[in-house]
Amino acid sequence: MTRLHDPQDGLIRRHYRKKGKPQVVEDQLTGAKRAPAAAFEPRLKDEAISVNVESSLLAAGEPLLWGVNLEKFYAARIIVGDCETLGLRAYHTPIDPKPPDDPGNPHHGSIFGIVEARNTDPDAYESILDALSKASTIVPEPTPPC
Amino acid sequence: MNGGILTGPYFQNPEPPSLRAPLRSFFEPVVRFILERLTASVTTGAIQAVDEQRESTAVEASLQRIASFKEALNDALELNVEMVNDGEGDQVDSQTVQYAALSLNPLIASMELPTPLVLPLQNGGIGAEWHAYGMNIELRFRKPYDVYAVLEDARSPEEFRGRDPDLERTRIAIGELGKRVRESTNPQVLANLDDEAS
């Protein structure tokens, strides 16, 4: 588990499509397309938000959408600096493979701090979700061949 | 004393009455009355017909909006089932969904709103969002009476982020959004705006 310090390092978070369409919103203040706050919510059982670490993907020569099944998910990108600003901590937390079924994930990352906020300060939790949603961009997808 | 003989004008023969004058004076108000009633009834009838048509169109539009909202809600619930089956989501709480639907239905029915983006939230909640006409309206129904709202307007520096359990602040923002939708779909309002711009 390695702490990520480069504020520009990207963190790729996948989120479900609905009826095949990415749940992208167009922010009316900035005009930018972003993911809704729901994309950054941890499950009850989670200790952190799971992401893929961009620097790890790039070092391995993998695209940002590596491991994202585009029939089911789309991907949003935030950066480490956004997390730091919110008091969150981003780590590179590779998941070891567990044969025979689980291939693991060498690019896995975790954002800590949001679950603690949810459990101790619900308003702060909502503010963090807002900020992550506002800071997010949508990872472009390859255009399907005609 | 004149011995009770009545004199003077009381016995003077009055001029023979004109046949025309009394007739005109009798019929004129009657005709005017009938004409006025007729005109009024034709006008009222036309207005009533237009009103009824307008009302019927409004009711149809309202029902259409409710149907679209219901569809969006159902899609969100279907997505939640998929997420839960994949082990990627917590099950949406039915009471929270019911509360959200009951809270939003009257607003959607009465205001000309686009269909919101409805999404399942983790921990049992459900979210509804509008991003249109310069407004960001995000509602996160965590539990019944526990609603977090983000209300932003590109035309105003004021914003609201916080709990809005009875949707008091949300109602105002949604009303403004409805007004903008109405303005944008009313050609006369647009023409007036063009005139003002030129």
The predicted structure's pLDDT at residue B107: 95
What letter does residue A58 receive in the DSSP assignment?
Answer: H
The predicted structure's pLDDT at residue B138: 98
Where residue A94 falls among pLDDT bands split at 50, 70, 90?
A: very high
Quote the pTM value: 0.80
B142 vs A19: which has the higher pLDDT: B142
The predicted structure's pLDDT at residue B54: 74
The predicted structure's pLDDT at residue B166: 92
What whole-number distance in Å separates Cα of residue B98 and Cα of residue B104?
Answer: 10
Helix (H, G, I), strand (E, B) or coil at A122: helix
What whole-number distance in Å separates Cα of residue B153 and Cα of residue A133?
Answer: 17
Shortest Cα–Cα distance, A126 to chain B (Å):
8
A98 vs B11: which has the higher pLDDT: A98
What are A35's two structure tokens?
A: 């993911």
Sort out which chain A residues have CB atoms less than 8 A from B75's CB and list them.
Answer: 18-19
Cα A61 to chain centroid distance, Å, stands at 19
Express as a percent the part of chain A with pLDDT over 90: 88
Shortest Cα–Cα distance, B58 to chain A (Å):
28
> Terminal CA-to-CA distance of chain A, rounded, Å?
43
DSSP string, chain B: --TT---GGGGSPPPPPPSHHHHHHHHHHHHHHHHHHHHHHHHHHHHHHHHHHHHHHHHHHHHHHHHHHHHHHHHHHHHHHHHHHTT-SPPPPHHHHHHHHHHHHHHHHHS-PPPPEEEEPGGG-EEEEEEETTEEEEEEEEETTEEEEEEEETT-S-EEEEE-TT-HHHHHHHHHHHHHHHHHH-HHHHHHHHHHH-
Q: Do A130 and B127 touch (CB under 8 A)?
A: no
Q: Residues of A29-63 as b/e, b for ≥16 C-beta within 10 angstroms?
A: eeeeebbbbbbbbbbeeeebbbbbbbbbbeeeeee
- For tokens 């949003």, the residue is A76
The predicted structure's pLDDT at residue B51: 76
Using a CB–CB cutoff of 8 Å, tell me whether B123 touches chain A: yes
Look at phi and psi of residue B152 and say left if phi exceeds 0, alpha if psi is from -120 to 50, else beta.
Answer: beta
Q: Which of A2-11, A17-26, A117-126, B40-49 has the lowest mean pLDDT?
A: B40-49
- Contacts of residue B111, defined as CB under 8 A and 6 or more positions apart, other chains included, come to B174, B175, B177, B178, B181
Q: Do A38 and B152 touch (CB under 8 A)?
A: no
User: Average pLDDT, stretch A50-62?
Assistant: 98
Q: Do B75 and A130 touch (CB under 8 A)?
A: no
CA-nearest of A11, A37, A20, A8 to A112 is A11
Summarize pLDDT for B73-93 with one digit per residue, the tens.
999 999 999 999 999 999 999
Q: Residue A76: pLDDT above 90? A: yes
Summarize pLDDT for A128-141 with one digit per residue, the tens.
999 999 999 999 99
What are B124's two structure tokens?
A: 């049992």
Dihedral in degrees, nearest 10, Cα atoms A53, A55, A58, A64: 40
The predicted structure's pLDDT at residue B185: 82
The predicted structure's pLDDT at residue B161: 97
Shortest Cα–Cα distance, B136 to chain A (Å):
6
Question: Among A28, A43, A118, whose Cβ lies nearest the Cβ of B90?
Answer: A43
Residues of chain B with confidence (pLDDT) below 70: 1-44, 187-198
The predicted structure's pLDDT at residue B192: 60
CA-nearest of A73, A32, A28 to B134 is A28
Q: Do B117 and A43 touch (CB under 8 A)?
A: no
What are B116's two structure tokens?
A: 């919101």
